[in-house]
Structure 1
Amino acid sequence: MTKPIRWGVLGASNFALRKMVPAIHLAHRHQFVALGTRSPAKAASFAGLAPGLRVHGDYDALLADPDVDAVYIPLPHTLHIEWAIKALRAGKHVLVEKPVAMHADEIAPLIAARDETGLICAEAYMIVHHPQWQRVRDLLADGAVGTLRHVEGVFTYNNADDPGNIRNSAATGGGALPDIGVYSYGSTRWVTGMEPEEITHVEIDWEDGCDVLARVSARFPAFTAHFVNSMRLLPEQFVVFHGDTGLIRMTCPFNAGTFDIARIEVHGPKAARVERWAEPNQYVLQVDAFGAAVRGEQAFPWSLEDARGTQAMIDAVYAKAGGRPAG
């Protein structure tokens, strides 16, 4: 049997503790073996998930650990490129949290490092691994809505009562678009295979240099789109793909199993049906897919080039808004 892939995590983030480390534990032929953090208290929480966990007091020490094969990077957004390149140079495969970078042109050096080392490096974009998104992609390709004419997407939550959250800090790459706009924009690009031709309208509410409510309209080659992303609204998420003969509504597109059960409605001229997925954990599926890519069994379905395309769309939205204000 092939040896398990041994994972190290750079930074003791709460998200890594709640989602990714348990996913590594549940995935097939993977082990969480090392953590890089200067906080003994945070390390203790992780140690409970992995007896014998090696805790390194700095990130460079973890990258020098010969018993780590792959590194997961949940650091603040502004640190992703730097540490992903360092991890590749240290001979580690890399799964880096979204967004990979704060600007699309920053991703080119990481792509170059990936290609030079021959290692796997990808963005942790978990939704493309979930069968509901694969199903919607197939349905659209098969003409389930006829000609797609419009996409409507909403993804919101409210963290106004958590001012210390890195998502509320411009210095650490905060904002609704870097945090959740990546899902609205990237998912639309992925299932349709199309890139936006123009950002036609943007309205953004700012707080201390962070976009906390973004209303964005765009024109794609074959359809229009409108997205609402916010860190100041009641939690909600849905995506609608509206065609001339049909409609697909996703009622829990992004946080499947947490916000609600994964569910799609497929409407036609005379009938509708509902499909549900209760079981799949998209984080476990992501780790399994990463392992398959590392072992050369299959390609990873979301590349750094895919991530760069989404970041380019976010960049275009900020440009249409006149740029990000100073925090």
Structure 2
Amino acid sequence: MAETPIRFGILGCASISLKLTKKLSRSITLSPNSTLDAIGSNSFDEAKKFAAENGFPPSVKIYGSYEAVLDDPNVDAVYLPLPPRLHLRWAVLAAEKKKHLLLEKPVALNVDEFDQIVEACEANGVQFMDGTLWMHHPRTSKMKEFLLDTQRFGHLKTVHSFFSFAANDDFLKNDIRVKPHLDGLGALGDAGWYCIRSILWACDYELPKTVIALRGPILNEAGVILACGSSLHWEDGKTATFHCSFLSNLTMDITALGTEGTLHVRDFIIPYEEKSASFSVSCKTGFTEHVVTTDLPQEIFMVREFSRLVKNIKEGGSEPESKWLSISRKTQLVLDAVKASIERDFEPIQVWV
């Protein structure tokens, strides 16, 4: 018997979120345990055009409002790629409508907003996951195996993470990520989210004690961050740094240094090859390049895992997997601390759970 797929609705298909929406709508369609059931936009014509351009089958329902998607009883889960300033309203409403929630990052403007989303998800028993794709690539678990190998890697001492890309003039003028009324977190919320997540991932999600933003952040005329960096410090002596930018050449690196070995990965956000991803390790026994092959892009792995969790809740009576809320909240806490340090003349900010 064929598996009953999880039915997705998408909230938002405007040009400001088009690239993300196209990627995830493709993944929902290709994942074996999900199907695209409905899309909604503030404009019916816009939603209809998006469906036509992407070759959606006639069975996909087209709505001229977000509310209509959330009110559709056939929709099990929603993917929400709206601008961050809209996340609180629509994520909470989705949870209240009992729709499982795949939310783009940054999940909120600050942890206070995110806690309202958490409360709504927990009160309504819905699964939450953010859209950090690289977490779901098979390479990530292989890299983690090395970090946990005390013989080869030892104990973690420091992590350095970089994510930058040189945005064009149109992006720097018109993209939602540089508009304070749509986003407000800029490069820190976008590229910085990935860097912070990679550091926490390497540290088994142990929060740092203090965060200090690096001097010299670059802001646009509206006060939105275009480039910044930070250092993180743990009570046991571990340290980390990251740099995120819309103004520098494409770089997607993680370097994790242990007492016995080192991990290097040069394309952790999006592997250069869709079906092949590599990382290198060095230790006392030598240098090794590891290649992880897969038949699927990482976004399908994410959709498949999210749909599996939703299916377990819907058909098996399972409780939502809470680790994704916890991981997202910790990422948001560190992001908030970096932003606060910038605003407070680069003073150290303690990270409170």
Which TM-score bucket, shorter chain as reference?
over 0.9
CA distance in 1, matches of 2:99, 2:272: 31
RMSD of equivalent CA atoms: 2.1
* Aligned equivalent of 1:49: 55
Q: Give 2:341's aligned amino acid.
A: K
* Aligned equivalent of 1:295: 311
Matches within 5 A, 1:184-223: 184-193=195-204, 194-203=206-215, 204-207=217-220, 208-220=222-234, 221-223=236-238
* Aligned equivalent of 2:159: 151
1:160 to partner: Cα distance: 4.0
Match of 1:121 among 118, 124, 128: 128
The answer (yes or no) to whether the contact 1:122–1:304 under 8 Å persists in 2 is yes
**Which 4+ residue blocks in structure 1 deviate beyond 3 angstroms?**
257-261, 297-302
**Unpaired segments ≥5 residues, structure 2:** 346-353
Identity %: 27
Deviations 1:260-305 (Å, cap 9, x if unpaired)? Answer: 9521101012411111234341110001101111122797585122
* Aligned equivalent of 1:61: 68
Distance 1:57 1:312, change over 3 A: same
Three-state SS of the structure 1 residue aligned to 2:32 is: coil
Matched, 1:9 2:10: yes
Matches within 5 A, 1:1-327: 1-12=2-13, 13-37=17-41, 38=43, 40-41=45-46, 43-47=48-52, 48-52=54-58, 53-143=60-150, 144-161=152-169, 162=171, 163-174=173-184, 175-193=186-204, 194-203=206-215, 204-207=217-220, 208-220=222-234, 221-257=236-272, 262-279=277-294, 280-296=296-312, 300=321, 303-322=324-343
CA distance in 1, matches of 2:18, 2:344: 30
Between the two proteins, the alignment pairs up a number of residues equal to 324
Q: TM-score, normalised by structure 2?
A: 0.86
Distance 1:85 1:258, change over 3 A: farther
Q: Give 1:215's aligned amino acid.
A: G
CA distance in 2, matches of 1:321, 1:277: 38
Three-state SS of the structure 2 residue aligned to 1:146 is: coil
The answer (yes or no) to whether the contact 2:80–2:91 under 8 Å persists in 1 is yes
Distance 1:92 1:216, change over 3 A: same
The answer (yes or no) to whether the contact 1:252–1:261 under 8 Å persists in 2 is no
